[in-house]
Amino acid sequence: MRVCVIGTGYVGLVTGVCLSHIGHEVICIDNNEEKVKLMQSGQSPIYEPGLSELMQSSAASGKLTFSTDLAKGVQHGEILFIAVGTPPLPTGESDTRYVEAVAKGIGNNLSSDYKVIVNKSTVPIGSGDWVRMIVLDGASEGSDSTPDISFDVVSNPEFLREGSAVFDTFNPDRIVLGGNSDKALAMMSELYQPIVKRECAEDKSLPPVPLVLTDLSSAEMIKYAANSFLATKISFINEVANICDRVGADVVQVAKGIGLDSRIGSKFLSAGIGWGGSCFPKDVSALVHTADDYGYNAELLKAAVSVNRHQRSIALEKLQTELKILKGKTVGLLGLTFKPDTDDMRDAPAITLIEELNRLGARVKAYDPILSQSGSSHGLSGVMIEADAEMLADDCDAMVLVTDWQEFLKLDFQKMHQLMTNPLIIDGRNFLDRSNLESLGFRYIGIGH
């Protein structure tokens, strides 16, 4: 099938590359000329495991192209994905101006050929009908009569994890399609058949991927409800961890014990310094804002946000307990990104830690496997980015593990112990080998652990 993906952020680029890999003819559109030139040269603008290799092979086969020409993309695609950003506004609601601009641009360039317009961006509930209205407005511009166009709008929310986005695309738990047109839903079902049939899955013996066919509003709600539930689950185990710290229990063992309950499950029960990134904060806030709009006080979701906000101060509290006055102390951060296997710093807990440590007069250093390679400050202030973990350890009064990168398990902690002024480690993800670190002479402190 012929596909156009508008927007080449994490979701758009991964979607376009993966759809081209399973045989569709895909053109990715972006209004950033430098970014498009970079992708045309075979380089990915984002770090995502496996993405660059698939992008290069699909481009070489002619299945994947990149352009700034929206009209060309609309003309090419039978299916048009809107995959632009919807960042949060100060009020908590989503900023949909980019979706609106793209929808109007699609309308400007529609012909009589039937199109399926797909909301891949995370948009407010009810946006399907709104996008249809904007497309029609765009199609009517400059015309005195009703334009001869034919299209339907479908909601197809994404459930990708940054750092695992390619794997998740080919191995989804489900594919959600919301719409009011049988024709549009049938075309979308056909588009995803290679994925539904597990043709690209690592384990091809698995049963077909479930297709959830529903209405527009329910599909949009599924996205918000899923992310809000996961965020709440993390905040719950973090609250349990804080109680564990006070009563002498071990949250790692508690999480194992409750996670074996099939009604609960073990995923998203890792206590730490809280969630961040582009999805959880934005989606929970947007759902709370929607509830407020309709006169409902979403107390549980507001509590999940409050617990997460407080959780970022836990590492600081532990540093103050151990070091007392932080002014004049040197603190090293192991990891900066909000999660491993990504270069994304959006709403990362590290940002809060850096700001608060600076406010308290500490000197802050950091090492991150991806961000340290570029040699830039990545827009961060008040932190010295070190080239490796040993340089980070040198002269530190304490280190805080912020991001659970797998390579941190293999660091030379014996040498790092020798370089530190005070061998204290705050493990913000309960990730490191406590017994090994303590045998080397470290003072190890986890979260509820």
Q: Which residues are known to be catalytic? A: 279
DSSP per-residue string spanning 144-168: SS-----EEEEE----PPTTSHHHH
Q: Pairing between strand 398-401 and 151-155?
A: unpaired
Q: Pairing between strand 384-385 and 363-367?
A: parallel
Distances from the Cα of 301 to the Cαs of 125, 192, 223, 277, in angstroms?
Answer: 17, 33, 15, 17
Q: How far apart are CA 132 and CA 117, in angstroms?
A: 9
Distances from the Cα of 193 to the Cαs of 22, 50, 114, 325, 392, in angstroms?
Answer: 9, 22, 21, 60, 48
DSSP per-residue string spanning 170-195: HS-S-EEEE-S-HHHHHHHHHHTHHH
Q: How far apart are CA 290 and CA 374, in angstroms?
A: 40
Q: Which two three-digit tokens encode residue 164? A: 């695992």
* Residues whose CB is less than 8 angstroms from the CB of residue 303 and which lie 6 or more positions away in sequence, other chains included: 235
